Every structure is written in C-alpha cells, then in structure tokens.
C-alpha cells in the first residue's frame, strides 16, 4: 500500500499538477455556488479543459473540481437557501437559519471543516477498501454485475420510505425506460428513436441531468420569480473561524456521519443525497432537545450532512474504480471523462494503471486540504457572485446549462431535447416526484441491460445463472430483503406494540 501512496504522491506533487488542483478547486467552488449547478455540472463544464491535459493531471483537476463544487453548493445552500444540488439540501436545513441569524461566516466554516473531515476520513477508508475490492472484483462476471444493478435500483426506492416508495419506483422505471432509447446492446437494433438519427446513440446522460436538474431548477425559479422577493445581499459574512469548543462540538457528529456516509456511498445508487439526509436525521434523533434545535441553526445539523455527503462522494469511488459502476450521477460523469482519456475504470484499472488509481486517492486528500486552507479564505470574494440580481442570474444559468451540453456534442438537436425534458421535469417536480431515482434508473439501466443480455447469451438463453452462481444469488437475495424491508418492519412493529 505504501508504494501505492508514494506513487500517488509523486504523480500529484508536480508544480503543474498542484496548479491544476488549485484551479480546479476554485472553478468548482465558483460553478457549484450557482443555484442549480452542482458537482455534476461543474465537472461536465470542465471536461473540455481537462481533455487538453494529460490523464493524471486531468483526473486530479476533476477531483478538485468535484470537491470544490460540493463546497460551492453548500455555500449557496447556506447563504441563499438555494441548494445547487440535492446532496446539499440537508445542509440548508440548519445552515440557512444560522446564516439568517447573523453568522453566515461561521456556518460556512462549519461546513468547510466538516466536509474536510468527511473527505479525509472517506479517502482513508477508500485507501483501505479499494485495493482489496479491486482484487476480488477480477472474478466478477456479467451475472454478478446484473445482480449488483438490481441491488442498486432497489436501494434507491427503499430509502424513499413507505410513502415515497411507489413514486420513487415509478421514477426509477421512467429512468430505465429512457435508458433503452438508442441501439440495443445485443443485436444493434435501434429502439424508440422515432426515426430521429440523433437518438440512435441514445440520450446522453449529461443532457438528461442538465435538463432535469439545472434547467428545471432555473425554470421553477423563473416561475416563482417576483422582483420584490428578498435577494441575498452582499452583506459581510462575518468571521470564518471556529473556536476550539465549536470544533469539539461538531467533531463526534462529523466522524459518525463520515462513516455512515462512506458506507452509503459504497452502495451503487445510494450516494451523497441519501447519505446527507440520513446523517442529518440520525444526528437530529441523537441530539434530542439540545439547543439550538435542529432546523433552527444547530452547528451539528450543518456538520453532519456535510461530512456525510463528502464521505459518500468518496465512497462512491469504490464501485467506480474497482467495478466500473458509477454509484451516483457525479461518478457517472467522471466515468465518461475517464473513458474519454482511454482509461476504463474497472477490475483492470488497479493492474494496468496503478498510478491513476493511486493519484485519484491522493488527490482527494490534497484537494480537501486545498479546499480548507486556500479556498475558504476566498469565499467572501466568490460569494459576491450570489448578489447578482436574479433576473440576470436565471437566464445566465439557462444559458450555461444549454451550452454546457452543446459544447460536448455540438448538436443543436440536444437543445430541443433538453427543452422537452426540462418541461417534463418541471411538471413532475411540481407533483412532488423526485428526480434522483430517475437519474439512477437511467445510469444503472443501461449497464443492467447490457450485463443481463450478455449473461443470457453466455448461458444460452437460460435464467439458470440466477441460481447457478453463488455470488449472483447472494446479491439477489440481499436486494429482495432490502425491497421487502419496509413491509417486514411494519409487520414486525404491528405484532409487538411497545
């Protein structure tokens, strides 16, 4: 392992790479801070820059963009209650009240420190878990991958709770349906292309994300817009420092949440959003009646989701690096960027390109340090961006989202497709249907069908692989238990009234 870390350090620690790391952190924070634009968008927008670099430098920069954007998202959650992405929604529960109470600087400092802690602990766990899993993952066959996808999809809906489960499942299926557009994986037959040449290659993931997240967010902002609406002013942020007592207060919560976040991040499909909401909920229950109450500006209410979402973001690198399965939207974008470099994450990455493998891990540490030491002091200046009046900001966000997709494909058809998806997403969001399960259905759907069709070909069109391979069977049983979990718990609770 130590050779690995040394290898990673020597790759990352060149002057040039350190510069890209800083540039990435800054750009990520900047983009992530814009309402509606999160890490996915930030990385996507940086892909053209990164593709002009060597793979090592490019990956380091994208990792920095990733962390920067997560932090930037927290900043806008805290300062203007406009979470850039779902994974920082939980941060706004306590962050915005604290900022409104006159301590925006402190709220930001808590968020930064907790993120740092979550990122560092997460990277440590990644360091321990990944090489081990990489060795096992060599024996994973298509049938096992198929079972893992089923597990991932089931997890998404299970976390939605009994009430939201039906909606979440419906959105998963919608995502799966969208993933079947384009050439089918077995015989190369175009499906659901409606005679459009532009749909033959399928719907791009980036496009779907930008339309259903960034565009729909901005459109909702436009439809709710009124000029009298209070806007973030450029008021002073206050001190960005934390006292030792405050650090002592949030440290246990941040540590617990990091571990929770990392574990959730490991599951394909769960990811940072669920991790941060779970961590906030868990800490709320632990805190009991402590003041200030959760939801009214509790420091731990900021620290828990921030630590959890960073640790989960790190955790989701485990399935990405070892199995090539993107566990979240952001890792799906990263996967695309890696493939563009000719790097195929998966069981062979550790064997073929250990320097990439290690430099990703090491750059996570460095990225977190840079974020805390260099980025945080710059926040007051970057935050001025948020004072831009909304009537300017909203059209600009629409423009950046559209052009971010256009500058990857250079096909104006994509813009029309985005308009359609954005309109549908606005409608569904107004009916309280969640977007995240749809995105996951879309990511995992393509992989699921690809692996299923391959398994069927290899096993001569028989479903026998489901019980012939013990690993596949074990994963499938786990998935069934998770799916049935909420119902079982309910029955159990009914039998033993306390």
Q: Which CB sits closer to another protein, 304 or 444?
A: 444
51, 340 in Cβ contact below 8 A? Answer: yes
CB-CB neighbours of 134 under 10 Å: 21
Contact 240, 71 (CB under 8 A): no
Q: Give whichever of 246 and 355 is closer to another protein, judged by the CB atom.
A: 355
Q: Minimum distance between the CB of residue 54 and another protein, rounded to whole angstroms? A: 7
Kindly tell me which of 189 and 239 has the beta carbon lying closer to another protein.
189
Residue spans of beta strands (DSSP E) within 140-299: 182-183, 190-191
Closest contact distance (angstroms) between CB of 133 and another protein is 14
As measured in angstroms, the least distance from the Cβ of 428 to another protein is 7
CB 41 within 8 A of CB 214: yes
Burial of residue 422 (number of CB atoms within 10 Å: 0-12, 13-18, 19+): buried
| Closest distance to another protein from the beta carbon of 297 (Å) | 26
Compute the least distance from the CB of residue 245 to another protein, in Å: 42
**DSSP for 477-492?**
HHHHHHHHHHHHHHHH
Q: Which is nearer to another protein, 287 or 385 (CB)?
A: 385
Nearest distance in Å: CB 395, another protein: 3
Phi, psi of 182, rounded to the nearest 5 degrees:
110, -170
Whole-number minimum distance, CB 495 to another protein, in Å? Answer: 26
CA distance 20 to 60: 7
Nearer to another protein, 251 or 341 (CB): 341
Residue 371 tokens read as 């974020």
Whole-number minimum distance, CB 362 to another protein, in Å? 22
Output DSSP code: residue 385.
G
Phi and psi, residue 226, nearest 5°: -145, 145
Provide the minimum distance between the beta carbon of 265 and another protein in the complex, in angstroms, as a whole number.
23
* Shortest CB 256 distance to another protein, Å: 35
3-state secondary structure at position 386:
helix
Specify whether the CB–CB gap between 147 and 449 falls below 8 A.
no
User: Can you say how many angstroms the Cα of residue 242 is from the centroid of all Cα atoms in its chain?
Assistant: 28
For residues 177 and 466, which CB has a smaller minimum distance to another protein in the complex? 177
Residue 191, classed as helix, strand or coil, is strand
Q: Which residue, 124 or 183, is less far from another protein as judged by CB?
A: 183
Query: 139 burial class (0-12, 13-18, 19+ CB within 10 angstroms)?
Result: exposed
Query: Is the Cβ of residue 193 or residue 255 nearer to another protein in the bound state?
Result: 193
Nearer to another protein, 262 or 400 (CB): 400
Residue nearer to another protein on the CB measure, 236 or 351? 351
Dist. CA 337–CA 478, nearest whole Å: 32
Phi and psi torsions of 191, nearest 5°: -125, 145
φ/ψ bin of 196: left (φ > 0), alpha (ψ from -120 to 50), beta (otherwise):
beta
Distance CA 125, CA 203 (A): 35
């Amino acid at each position: 392992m130590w050779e690995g870390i040394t290898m990673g350090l020597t790759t990352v620690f060149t002057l040039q790479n350190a510069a890209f790391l800083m540039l990435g952190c800054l750009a990520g924070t900047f983009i992530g801070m814009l309402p509606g634009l999160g890490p996915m968008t930030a990385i996507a927008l940086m892909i053209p820059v990164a593709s002009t670099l060597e793979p090592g430098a490019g990956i380091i920069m994208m990792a920095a963009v990733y962390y920067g954007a997560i932090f930037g998202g927290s900043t806008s959650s805290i300062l203007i209650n406009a979470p850039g992405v779902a994974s920082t929604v939980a941060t706004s529960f306590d962050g915005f009240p604290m900022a409104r109470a006159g301590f925006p600087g402190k709220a930001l400092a808590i968020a930064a420190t907790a993120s740092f802690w979550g990122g560092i602990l997460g990277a440590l766990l990644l360091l321990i878990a990944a090489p081990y899993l990489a060795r096992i993952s060599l024996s994973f066959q298509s049938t096992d991958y198929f079972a893992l996808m089923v597990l991932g999809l089931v997890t998404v809906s299970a976390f939605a709770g009994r009430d939201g489960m039906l909606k979440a499942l419906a959105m998963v299926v919608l995502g799966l349906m969208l993933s079947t557009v384009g050439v089918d994986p077995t015989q190369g037959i175009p499906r659901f292309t409606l005679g459009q040449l532009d749909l033959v290659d399928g719907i791009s993931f980036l496009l779907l994300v930008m339309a259903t997240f960034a565009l729909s967010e901005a459109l909702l902002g436009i439809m709710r817009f009124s000029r009298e609406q209070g806007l973030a002013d450029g008021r002073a942020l206050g001190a960005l420092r934390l006292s030792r007592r405050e650090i002592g207060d949030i440290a246990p919560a941040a540590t617990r949440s990091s571990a929770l976040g990392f574990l959730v991040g490991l599951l394909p499909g769960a990811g940072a959003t669920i991790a941060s909401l779970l961590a906030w909920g868990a800490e709320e229950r632990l805190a009991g009646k402590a003041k200030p109450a959760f939801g009214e500006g509790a420091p731990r209410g900021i620290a828990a989701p921030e630590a959890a979402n960073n640790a989960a973001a790190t955790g989701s690198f485990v399935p990405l690096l070892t199995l090539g399965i993107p566990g979240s939207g952001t890792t799906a974008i990263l996967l695309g960027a890696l493939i563009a470099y000719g790097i195929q994450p998966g069981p062979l990455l550790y064997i073929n390109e250990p320097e990439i493998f290690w430099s990703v891990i090491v750059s996570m540490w460095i990225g977190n340090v840079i974020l805390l030491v260099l980025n945080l002091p710059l926040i007051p200046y970057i935050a001025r961006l948020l004072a831009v009046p909304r009537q300017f900001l909203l059209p600009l966000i629409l423009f950046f989202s559209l052009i971010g997709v256009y500058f990857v494909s250079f096909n104006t058809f994509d813009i029309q497709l985005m308009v359609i998806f954005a309109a549908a997403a606005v409608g569904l969001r107004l009916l309280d249907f969640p977007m995240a399960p749809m995105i996951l259905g879309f990511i995992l759907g393509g992989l699921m069908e690809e692996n299923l069709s391959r398994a069927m070909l290899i096993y001569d069109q028989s479903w026998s692989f489901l019980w012939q391979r013990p690993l596949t069977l074990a994963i499938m049983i786990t998935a069934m238990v998770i799916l049935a979990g909420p119902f079982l718990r309910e029955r159990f609770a009914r039998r033993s009234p306390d």
